[in-house]
Structure 1
Amino acid sequence: MTEYRAVFDARIQFVNGGGLTAEGFRLDVPSADVDERTVGELLVRHLGLALVESVELTGFELVEEAHTGSRGMVASAPAPDGPRYIDLSHTIVDGLLTMPGMPVPRISPHLTREASRSVYAAGTEFAIPRIDMVANTGTYLDTPFHRYADGHDLAGLALERIVSVRAELVRLVDSSTRGIPAEVFYDRDVTGAAVLLHTGWDRHFGTPAYSASAPFLTEAGARYLVEHGVGLVGIDSINIDDMSPESGGARPAHTLLLAAGTPIVEHLTGLAGVPPRGAAFTAVPPRVEDFGTFPVRAFATIG
């Protein structure tokens, strides 16, 4: 479904004096045929303002652009034919490059269909493949054991932390900085939520550009999410932490989130199709003992 946003400058006056001005403001709108008055009302709701006397918009235009979650918008009703699912996982194939420097997965047959014919009854055949890979392959989930020796592993991961978790998607594709600050979460109810960071960096997956100047969650951003009881954090980038040489190998986001028992899902894809609010997130790995990380089939449910 095509989504639209309004772009404008604004001047707001209050009945009890004072005012606010904004330049180049971008706001989600329900359709392409809204007028300036409607957008003015949406702006007041989005900012949570009271005692407004007047709203004046200038330089007004509508652009075709994905919503970022402006408050005051009425959520669309679920589709009458039931829920819709959006796959957020990369496909694992033989030789897939996920992290530079890590072994790529190798998929080979353990038992071919041809060879199985001599094992089973006439007309019956099976294929049993095998895969050799590191845990950090494709779209995967981190548990505390990935970072801390005494943290719980995949076998200790509670299903309620990773199944049908209320999603708060934060759209950051137009961000001018690599580091995602705490401030972008101020207008979101992150408590118990799966906070999904849509940077658009998944467009580089499998290429050298994927690891160069990639977006990441700052230490302040991670601390804010932990302090406000976030349920899970996912990102469509190579790492939730800064992997550049300037980081010196520090991993504050992993350190803070996993210390709090918060699962992390990295290398997501397809987040452009997820609304800012109103979806549920699921990412389930197998129940493996003494593993802190493993690939998942991550998906969003809408409706």
Structure 2
Amino acid sequence: MPQYRAVFDAEISFVNGGGLSAHGFRLDLPSGDVDQAQIGALLVQHLGLALVGSVKLSGLQIVEEAHTGSRGIVAQVDAPAPRRLVDLSHVIRDGLVTMPGMPVPRMTAHLSREASRSVYAAGTEFEIPRIEMIANTGTYLDTAYHRYADGGDLAGLLLEGVVDVRIELIRLPGATERGIPAEVFYDREVSGAAVLLHTGWDRHFGTPAYGDPAPFLTEAGARYLVEQGVGLVGIDSINIDSMTADAAGERPAHSLLLAAGIPIVEHLTNLGDVPPRGATFTAVPPKVEAFGTFPVRAFATIR
């Protein structure tokens, strides 16, 4: 079902003096059929303002655009929808490039169907495939062991932390800066949540452009999420940290999050199909000792 947002300039005054101005403000709408007065009321509710004297909007446009999570806005629906699953994982295939410069997966047959015919009864055949790959392939999850020798590994990962975790999705495709700051999380209830960073960079996955300077979580952003006690952090970019030369090999987001035992999921995709709130996130790796990273089948459940 289409979603709508209002784009406008605003002048807000207060009955006890003072005011606020906004330029090019964007606000989620419950439907495309709302008037200016209703939008003004929704703006006040979203900002949590008190003692408002007047709200004047100008340059108002209503556009069809995915919601970003404005407070108090519930999309209009015709009827309760059935549960829907959104696949957030890239397909792993022979020769897939996940991280430019790292080995790609190679798939062969340990036992082919043809060869199996000499092993089993007539009319019975099987294929046993073999895959050789590094752990950082496709969409994968990092545990503390990936960064710290004494950190928890995949075998010690608690299922409660990676199954049906409440999502707070931060929609950022229109961001003008690569670094994702702490401030974008201030209006969200991120404690215990799977905070998913939708940058739109997954559109480059599998192409040389994927390795270009990409969106990342800043050190301040990672520190804030740790302080707030998030459950998990995911991103649809090449890395949750900056990988450019000026980063000098430092990985503050990995270091801070994993030191706090917060799993990281990188190389997500299809986050544009996930609402800002109201869904849950699942990403379960195999139970492997002395491994800190492995591919997952990540998905969102929308109820």
Instruction: Rate the CA distance shift 1:47–1:192 in 2: closer, same or farther, 3 A.
Output: same
Most deviating of 232-241 and 3-12: 3-12
Find the counterpart in structure 2 of residue 191 from structure 1: 191
SS at match of 2:61: strand
Deviations 1:30-56 (A, max 9, x none): 222211111111100100011111111
Find the counterpart in structure 1 of residue 123 from structure 2: 123
Structure 2 matches for 1:1-303, cutoff 5 A?
A: 1-74=1-74, 80=80, 82-303=82-303
Instruction: Rate the CA distance shift 1:232–1:117 in 2: closer, same or farther, 3 A.
Output: same
Q: Which whole-Å CA distance do the structure 2 matches of 1:79 and 1:190 have between them?
A: 29
1:78 Cα shift?
Answer: 10
TM-score by length of 1: 0.98
Deviations 1:37-77 (A, max 9, x none): 11111100100011111111000001121111000102567
Most deviating of 217-226 and 72-81: 72-81
Amino acid at match of 2:152: H
Deviations 1:135-182 (A, max 9, x none): 000000000000000001000000011000000000000000000000
Q: Which whole-Å CA distance do the structure 2 matches of 1:34 and 1:81 have between them?
A: 23
How many residues align? The count is: 303
Amino acid at match of 1:253: A
Q: Which whole-Å CA distance do the structure 1 matches of 2:92 and 2:2 have between them?
A: 30
Amino acid at match of 1:56: K
SS at match of 1:184: helix
Deviations 1:208-249 (A, max 9, x none): 111111000000000000000010000000000000001000
Q: Which whole-Å CA distance do the structure 2 matches of 1:191 and 1:176 have between them?
A: 27
Structure 2: stretches of 5+ with no match in the other structure: none
Instruction: Rate the CA distance shift 1:2–1:77 in 2: closer, same or farther, 3 A.
Output: closer
SS at match of 1:11: strand
Q: Which whole-Å CA distance do the structure 2 matches of 1:224 and 1:95 have between them?
A: 38
Most deviating of 217-226 and 8-17: 8-17
Instruction: Rate the CA distance shift 1:300–1:79 in 2: closer, same or farther, 3 A.
Output: farther
